[in-house]
Amino acid sequence: MAYLIRLFGHSSNPVAHHACEELLAAVMEADPLIHEVGDRRGGVGWISFELAASRPSRSTASTRVEVNTRPDVLALCLQSDEAEVVSGDLAGSNVMVGLTLSGETDWQSVSAIWRATRDLWATVAWDEGSGFGASMDDL
């Protein structure tokens, strides 16, 4: 079963491929053991890829990451009563980073991705368990 975390932010360059490169650079600078694995997939306004870490204590755990800048997708993801509670922080969000976790999870990598995203784009987090009350402390 997969678990989804979404991070909504404000990018000065809301083009998915540019945002992806910016995020990858920040993640790999924060944790040099993290690297991209497999092929990227993408389309208009979105790109997805997989990250893994070369940690001695970890197996082949990886995290699927999607960077999405499509206004229609962001609007759809933000249509909820709960989103209205934090609407001031979400206003103008133009980038969403989705983390899909399944199977064995490298929480150290998830934390590094979350921190890099937050540092780049002042994000508001959402996850399936806590909704918009999600925080890195929940990891």
pLDDT tens-digit profile, the chain (139 residues): 788 999 999 998 889 999 999 999 999 999 999 999 989 999 999 999 999 988 776 566 789 999 999 999 998 888 775 666 566 677 788 999 999 998 888 888 999 999 999 999 988 898 888 888 788 877 6
Nearest to 120 by CA among 5, 13, 17: 13
3-138: CATH number: 3.30.310
3-class secondary-structure state, position 104: coil
* Cα–Cα distance measured from residue 67 to residue 41, given in angstroms and rounded to the nearest whole number: 11
